Amino acid sequence: MANAGLQMLGFILGIIGWVSSIVTTALPQWKMFTYAGDNIVTAQAIYEGLWMSCVSQSTGQIQCKVFDSLLNLNSTLQATRALMIIGILLGLIAIFVSTLGMKCMRCLEEDEVQKMRMAVIGGVIFLIAGLSILVATAWYGNRIVQDFYDPMTPVNARYEFGQALFIGWTSAALCLLGGCLLCCCCPQKAASYPSPRPYPKPAPSSGKDYV
């Protein structure tokens, strides 16, 4: 029962992490315009994501512009897009595979070991998806830090971490934790003990007594 509960917890955490990764990819707040320095206009908020850049006015009006050219984007943004999409696709595959191995499902009931192996395979895929999301968000965040402390970057062109990055790190952690819990349900091989040697059968008695 405890093993089934651990498996269910890992599955739920993996799904939450997968949904959070989709939200992270869609959000435009990957980096926010910093308000450090002089002559900074605070009446508007400027933020940028993987697909668009937006400007939010103090009146509540938001204007967004989708990136026009794919080839004109920097390599960090292109790699982050690719890794996030890979992580989302792997998470979807992990959900389907893990579902077949869940003890609460009726699939593969005739082979318990194979059923548990499917759950473990799903956990491994969750781990790979979590690593992909973690690498993407960490890479993007490292680029923000480098540009922020670069003396060649103007003060009015520096950005800080946005909310989407923190959600991305959380989703990566949930996918990794869920994958680890699913992998903990690895089927154990039954202990094999040597079969006892049969004792030799006594020879049949002929009914005659020898002196």
* Phi–psi pair at 117, nearest 5 degrees: -65, -35
**Residue holding tokens 């668009």?**
52
Taking the C-alpha atoms of 111, 115, 117 and 118 in order, what is their torsion angle to the nearest 10 degrees? Answer: 140
Question: Which option is the CATH number for 2-29+71-183: 1.10.3230.20, 3.40.50.1970, 2.40.50.40, 1.20.140.150?
Answer: 1.20.140.150
H or E element at residue 118: helix 112-149
Report d(CA 33, CA 74) in Å as an integer. 18
pLDDT per residue as tens digits for the range 96-151: 998 887 876 666 566 667 778 888 899 999 999 999 999 999 999 999 888 888 77
User: Whole-angstrom Cα distance, residue 33 to residue 56?
Assistant: 11
Model confidence over 10-53: pLDDT tens digits?
899 999 999 999 999 999 989 988 766 554 556 678 888 899 88
* 84 vs 42: CA distance, rounded Å: 32
Tell me which H or E stretch contains 48. strand 44-48
- pLDDT bucket at 62, cuts 50 / 70 / 90: confident
| Residue extents of the structural domains in the chain | 2-29+71-183
Look at the alpha carbons of 165, 170, 171, 173 in this order and tell me if their dihedral is positive or negative: positive
- For 47, what's the count of Cα atoms within 13 Å in the CB-facing half-sphere? 17
3-class DSSP state for residue 33?
strand
Higher pLDDT, 1 or 172: 172
Q: Under DSSP, is residue 159 helix (H, G, I), strand (E, B) or coil?
A: strand
For the segment 170-190, the average pLDDT, to the nearest whole number, is 82
Packing angle between helix 75-101 and helix 112-149, nearest 10 degrees? Answer: 160
Secondary structure in 3-state letters for 50-92: CCEEEEEECCCCEEEEECCCCCCCCHHHHHHHHHHHHHHHHHH
The backbone torsions φ and ψ at residue 203, rounded to the nearest 5 degrees and listed phi first, read -65, 140
Q: Is the pTM of this model over 0.85?
A: no
